[in-house]
Structure formats: C-alpha cells, structure tokens
Amino acid sequence: MTMLRRRFSLLALTASMIGGALPAAAQMPTEAPVRYDPDHLPADFHADRRAAVRAAIPDGAVALVFGAPERQRSNDTNFQYRQDSDFYYLTGSEEPGSALLLVPGGVDVEGRRVEEILFIPPRDPAAEVWTGRRFGIERAEGQLGLQMALDNTKFEEIARRVLSGRTILVEDLPGGVAEGSDLSGQLAVFHEVAGRPDMVDGPPSPNVDTETLRQVLTGLREVKTPAEMERLRRAIDITAEAHREVMRQVQPGWAEYQIEALIEYTFAREGAQYTGFPSIVGSGENSVILHYETNRKVTRPGEVMVIDIGAEVHGYSADVTRTVPVSGRFSPEQRAIYDLVLAAQQAGIDAAVGGAPMQATHAAASRVLLRGMADLELINGPQDTQGLRRFFMHGTSHYIGLDVHDTGFYGALKPGMVITVEPGIYIPEAEDIDPKWWNIGVRIEDDILITDGAPVLLSGNAPRSAEDIEALMGR
C-alpha cells in the first residue's frame, strides 16, 4: 500500500468512526501509472563524451574516473548525495561507490572485448527497502549505454590486470572517503597498483598522469552541446521564475529564510532536483557580504536585498542574481548605485563576444564603474582602480554548467560557452563614507550564451531594470 493510499484509508476509517463522510477534496484520486522524471541526458550524449576522452588518451595509457563518495553529515546520517560532475558527464550514473575505466583499444573481460567498464554497487534487495532501488548492471548497460557494467566487487580483479604497467590518467582523487566503504576499497587497490599506497600524502607515481585527463575534460565541458543547453536553459528559466515570485510577494518583515523557502519551493515545484549552491538572500547590512548564506535576518523597510540563486536541473546549474528594494521602490541613493551597476553589466555583456578574452567583460564593466563611482564622489576620480576595488572586489565572469563555477581555461570566448556577467557595488558602514550610502549592496548577474554573433541573454525573464523590478513589485 502506498503512503498516499494509506493516508486516505486512515482518513476514511476515521470518518466512518465518527459517522461522517470524506470531504469532497479528500476523495481517493484515480489510480495513475507511476511516472518518474525522464529528462536525463540521453545515453548517446555520455557515450560521445567517453569516445572523445578515449580518442585523447595517449598510447599505452588508460583513464580511471572515480565517482563521488557518500559523505557523513552526523552520526548515521549522510548528506544528500550528489554525483561528481566529471563522472556524471561521462556516464550519467548517479550511483555512489562507482568507478569508470576507459581502455583505448579494448581489453578482454568475461569473453567480451570492451573499451569501457563501469563498476557500480551490486543490488541488495534488503538494503533497497531502506534506501531505494539501485541501478544494477543490467540497467547500466541497457539505459546508460555502457559497453560493460560490472559489480564493483570485481574492480580489484580487473584493475590489477589492466592498470599494471600502464600510464594511468586520473584527476583529483576523492577525499573524505569513509573507511570500509565501496570507494575506499577501490582507492586502496588503485594506490597499490599505481605503486604508491601513500599517494594521497605524497607525489604521484611516475606511471600516474594527473593533468592530461583534467585538460581533456575541461576542453570538452567548456563548450556546451545542444543537449546540455536544454537542461541549462531549463535551470535558468526556473531560477528566473523564482526571482519573479520574490518580486511578487516579498514585503518588509519577511525573514531572509522565508524568502529562501519561497525560492527553493519554486525550484522544486518547477522540477529542479537541487539548488546549484546555497541560496544567498542578504538584506540591509548583509547585502554587502558577497556570499552571505546564513539567511536569518528579518527584512526592514527601506533596505535592498541581494538574491543570488541557481536551480539545478539534471546536474546543470543556473546562477542569477537580482537586487530588489524590500519596500518595492529604490531610494534615490539605491537607485543611483543600481543604475550604475546595470550600465556596467550591460557593457560587460556587450563585450562577451566570440574571440574576445574572458577578461573583456570585467574590463568593460570596470570602466563604467570607475566613471560612475567617481561621479558619485565615492572614489578619487576615474583612474582610482584601488578605490574601486574597495567596493567591487570580485571578478565579473565565470563559466556555468555542471558546476556553478564550471571548469574552463579562461582564455578566449568560444561559441557554445555559457558564462555569467555579474558586476557589483558593496558599500559598508565606514567613517569616511556618507551614511546615505551605507549598507547598499547591489549585484546584477545574468547567464550569457556566447555565439558567432551577439551574446544571448538567457536569464532575461527575471526583470533587470529598476523600472521593471518596481513595476512587478508594485502589483
């Protein structure tokens, strides 16, 4: 009996005991087939990524990628599991205790010659009653499209045969692995076969290459495929909707955590699986803290609030920031800073063209901020870069994708890259600053697709201009 059916059965029993009937809204719904979210990346996407990695592996080498370990939160409770981004990129598997072995040219295993083997935990019906169904090797091969999937209990046997005498391409090895877990055993075998059982605490063995695989995956992940863009656009749209919900509903007296709850409810309602990072909701004095995550203050009339959030859809995270006036309208000083940051952001977006250096967005935004802050007499002239650094102390752009600060080379911009453009001004209380400017923090961040032509604003569904924000809040 499902929990839903049990709930209605108990309700019906209670109603019969008191001589009543179920209210109309509580009638048993019509049974419907169980449906799970099907919108994962297709198997051929991951197969193509693995093929690209295999093609880049030097002769005589193999690549080994470990999944993320489960991590203990406290006592017998783990943090919610999230797979390692590179491992997910190559496999689509979200199973802990897993490893992927890529062998260009192939290796004979159990009567088959294969170039890729996914090691995953064996199914355990008794454990699945408590923790949910595991994927199992049959589904891994059938649904994920792997050439071969094996129980991870066979990792030691295969690894000793395949890794010995070869150059092994690995990235950063997972840390914080619980002793006695599936992954700890696989890592121990790797260290032994690689010739350095204490490799975690010392330099790698000569037959371990820790750079090539990182470079290959960074090059692949930097430019997004159409399949990736579908998930990323969805994450961005959900994030923009959450910003609109805040603008529609927030009022002075709401606690930051209540606003965070509204945001993350909207994420879940629209189908996002996670937040891409802890939601930042900073009002008043907290608006000038770049990565404020406590979210416990109660908002007050007249404050501005920086909201930096990102929904995650099948691994891909948005990153969109808006600054809103808690009372629905900006004060003259808040509006002056807001309009300046918006102008700087637009200059940065205009600079985000294919072939330009990644730093072009920061240079363009900084030029606007220097002039504007000088006009407001908050810095000593348009050449006072050190003075600007006091109020604008971070970069303007980073990649987004499977990680909110996604991997990339930070060189020339290429079509298919997705970056943020996010200048800001943060004015704390200080003796040498006129109090009318105190605790005005403004950051405006949007997600931008690089193309062969003009940059594409992906997050424009979240109002950007002060006029549009005030209009939506005024409704």
**pLDDT one-digit tens code per residue, 280-297:** 999 999 999 999 999 999
pLDDT of residue 19: 40
pLDDT at 16 over 60: no
pLDDT at 12 over 70: no
pLDDT of residue 35: 45
* pLDDT band (50, 70, 90) for residue 202: low
Contacts 24+ apart (CB under 8 A), 278-285: 279/307, 279/308, 279/309, 280/306, 280/307, 280/308, 280/309, 280/321, 281/256, 281/257, 281/305, 281/306, 281/307, 282/256, 282/306, 282/307, 282/441, 283/256, 283/326, 284/439, 285/428, 285/429, 285/439
Q: Tell the residue number behind the tokens 């204490």, with chain if given.
A: 198
Domains of the chain by residue range: 1-35, 43-221, 224-474
Task: Please name the fold of domain 43-221.
Answer: Creatine Amidinohydrolase; Chain A, domain 1 (3.40.350)
Range with the lowest mean pLDDT among 128-137, 193-202, 223-232, 390-399? Answer: 193-202
Distance CA 23, CA 15 (A): 9
Q: Which CATH class is domain 224-474?
A: alpha beta
pLDDT at 32 over 60: no
* pLDDT band (50, 70, 90) for residue 127: confident
pLDDT at 135 over 90: no
Beta-bridge partner residues of 306? 282, 323
Distance CA 306, CA 324 (A): 7
Annotate 417-444 with b (16+ C-beta within 10 A) or e (fewer): bbbbbbbbbbbbeeeeeeeebebbbbbb
- The arithmetic mean of pLDDT across residues 237-246, rounded, is 98
Q: What does each C-alpha distance from 377 to 33, 44, 104, 285, 384 come to in angstroms?
A: 65, 57, 63, 21, 11
- The arithmetic mean of pLDDT across residues 72-97, rounded, is 94
pLDDT at 197 over 70: no
pTM of the predicted protein model: 0.90
The residues carrying an active-site annotation are: 76, 291, 308, 319, 394, 398, 405, 422, 426, 443, 445
Range with the lowest mean pLDDT among 14-18, 144-148, 318-322, 444-448? Answer: 14-18
Instruction: Please answer whether residues 308 and 289 qualify as being in contact, where contact means their C-beta atoms are separated by less than 8 angstroms.
Output: no
Nearest to 209 by CA among 56, 356, 6: 56
- The arithmetic mean of pLDDT across residues 86-110, rounded, is 96
pLDDT at 3 over 80: no
Range with the lowest mean pLDDT among 117-126, 348-357, 415-424? Answer: 117-126
pLDDT of residue 9: 37
The SS3 assignment for 254 reads coil
